[in-house]
Amino acid sequence: MKQKGFFNIIFLILAVMLASITTYLILTKKVDAPVNDNPIIQEPTKIGCDFDKDTRINIIDTFIDGWSEFEKKVVQRPVLGSTIWGKPNYYQFIGNNRMFINFEDGHIALASVVQYKCYEDNAMDFSSLEIFNDFPFDEIKWNNLYGQYGDKDYGVYSYTESIFKGGEVIKYNDWTEVPENLFILHPKGY
């Protein structure tokens, strides 16, 4: 009999201990790491020469300055009396120091993937990686080209001086970043 009472007392003590531990764990508040009231603020890393709007517009201006030499390297030549390709209307930065451009002679519209090298805060040494005579692209082709030439971590930044939107032509005073994908076919505008 004494052993049965002894086991009951041990059982009761273990039950009380278990209940106490459970209550303690439920009622105690977790303590988070102390809050740093003076965090070190880091500027985003600026890699390359096309990391923001101003640097991309710089690249466009530099490219336009050298357009006459660049367009001479386009193997396909203008038709119906034109002797030179007009300056690009659209620019789309796609990462990897590359951009899509489009240009035309008044009759034929072409697009190209242009690669450039960064020197300090600007680009130089522009070269065409490929020229397309089926501009504007359908969405599938654009996605394939972006996958082949672009950088998904960089994003897509489109620039123009005018756009057909809401049934009318909107003209900007300077190169303007627009949310529309200017290289995908939109027969009725944006």
Query: pLDDT tens across 18-54, in order?
Result: 677 766 666 665 544 444 444 444 344 455 678 889 9
Residue type, 166: G
Q: What mean pLDDT do residues 67-89 have? A: 90
In a domain, residue 84? The reply is yes
| Mean pLDDT over each residue of the chain, to the nearest integer | 83
pLDDT recorded at residue 43: 41
- Between 182 and 16, the higher pLDDT residue: 182
DSSP 43-84: PPP--SS-SSHHHHHHHHHHHHHTHHHHHHT-SSPP-TT--S
Domain residues for the domain of 58 are 53-178
In a domain, residue 39? The reply is no
In degrees and rounded to multiples of 5, residue 184 shows phi and psi of -105, 135
Burial of 123 (0-12, 13-18, 19+ CB in 10 A): buried
Q: What mean pLDDT do residues 94-111 have? A: 93
Domain count, the chain: 1
Neighbours of 63 (CB within 10 A): 20
pLDDT recorded at residue 3: 64
In a domain, residue 69? The reply is yes
Q: Where are the alpha helices (DSSP H) in the chain?
A: 2-27, 53-65, 67-72, 139-149
Using CA atoms, how far residue 148 sits from 5, 152, 174, in Å, is 80, 10, 30
Tens-place pLDDT, residues 139-153: 999 999 999 999 999
- Residue 81 zone, left/alpha/beta (φ > 0; ψ -120 to 50; rest): left
In a domain, residue 143? The reply is yes
Residue type, 95: G
In a domain, residue 150? The reply is yes
In a domain, residue 68? The reply is yes
In a domain, residue 20? The reply is no
pLDDT recorded at residue 129: 96
